[in-house]
Amino acid sequence: MNNVPIDMNQLVYSFEDESQDNKYYLDRETGEIRLVHEGLHELRDLTDEIETDRERFLYIPKQDPKKIKGDLRDFIDTIDDAKTKMLLDVAMDSPHILSGFKKILESTGVSDDELKAFLERRTRLRVKQWLSANSIDVENELQSSP
């Protein structure tokens, strides 16, 4: 898939989308990311197209929750304040870790922008590794507006 532009922001979003109802596929020929969801009007046509040309469409996997949890542990290591670190460490046992992190950061006056940027860098790295593992050149990236 040489010289096919890929919108990295959209690809990162697809990796991060936790909805089990949303399935994404990367079109190896155009670089377009296709969403397959029950509510789409053209669902049958889209799934038929993906099924008949399996070599062209590559399923975009969901992120591994264990890796996200590891990323959050690594983020804790970037925090200087001992109290905030302790609170974040306790949040690791919460059923909703990410929302816990955001609430703790907000309550300590730390912007959650640092957390968002940290997690996005990690996801982008995984996306590039995934593309590389699937023999897709990552040099040609489109950057869409956030």
Helices (H), 20-141: 43-52, 65-76, 82-91, 97-107, 113-133
pLDDT of res. 130? 92
Mean per-residue pLDDT, 72-77: 96
- Of 58, 1, 64, 62, the closest CA to residue 34 belongs to 58
Cβ distance 88 to 80 under 8 Å?
no
- d(CA 72, CA 65) in angstroms, rounded, equals 11
pLDDT in tens, 22-73: 889 899 888 889 888 776 655 566 667 777 777 888 899 998 889 999 999 9
pLDDT in tens, 44-57: 666 677 777 778 88
- d(CA 77, CA 89) in angstroms, rounded, equals 10
pLDDT in tens, 78-120: 999 999 999 999 999 988 898 999 999 999 887 889 999 999 9
